[in-house]
Amino acid sequence: MRLLFLGDVVGRAGRKAVKAVLPGLRERYAADFVILNGENAAGGFGITESIFQEFLDAGADVVTTGNHVWDQREALVFIERQERMLRPLNFPEGTPGRGAGLFKAANGADILVVNAMGRVFMNDLDCPFQAVGRELEACPLGEGADAVIVDFHAEATSEKQAFAHWVDGRVSFVAGTHTHVPTSDDQILPGGTAYVSDAGMCGDYDSVLGMNKDEPIGRFISRIPNGRFEPATGQGTITGIAVETDDKTGLATAIAPVRLGPCLKEAEPEFWLSAEAG
């Protein structure tokens, strides 16, 4: 099965890139299931229902989020009726929405998607390890689901790596999100779980984490805020990860970065493109 995960979509530049590239990309890769993180899509902070729908229309199957999920207050309401939008699983009991769901892929497979948030240098939440563990017990890979994908939204790479090794062999893919910088440690762990510390962002990379450079640079120099953080508006780059899984076990057989657009060196999954050429 072919899984495509796109990193945090930041502002208008990221949205435009996703809308322009994802439909053709999904068809070209013959992707069975697509996830993207949309928590920074609305002006860099949060997501609206109309933007959420734009992502579905472009070819996303599920939209995950993180610590900025409630920055647009309407999300507290529309998340209850939009089952394909997830918020972190380990938010307190009673928080609107859901942190996991079982979804159908294009090939008919059942995909468990879990959205969890780390605690190191982040908000004080319930333990993500225990929360995800309960989901995996309720819907095990190979029994309740044909593939399991976890968006682990966290700051510390140590926490992301520890989590990935803890679930190794029990999930298909752990995609780290939040830092907006794509890491080069994409790998398949010993137990068969694909992993990357951060999938990066979809947005303007001539920026500071997708934001116009002047304000963050000024704050680092003077420690004085002079305005709001505003998303950079240059041409967006698509950044994410492609994963292929074994249809029998649900474990990963291949992983590769996806980078399309300016600023970064472009990359595509050769294991899909070579099959296409053949």
Question: What positions carry a catalytic annotation?
Answer: 68
Q: How far apart are CA 92 and CA 76, in angstroms?
A: 14
Indicate if the alpha-carbon torsion angle 233, 85, 56, 109 is positive or negative: positive
157-167 helix and 128-138 helix, angle to the nearest 10 degrees: 20
Which helix (H) or strand (E) segment holds residue 251: the answer is none
CB-facing half-sphere around the CA of 81: CA atoms within 13 A: 6
Greatest Cα pair distance in the chain:
57
Q: Do 60 and 32 meet the contact criterion of CB atoms below 8 Å apart?
A: no
Are 7 and 180 contacting, i.e. CB atoms less than 8 angstroms apart? yes
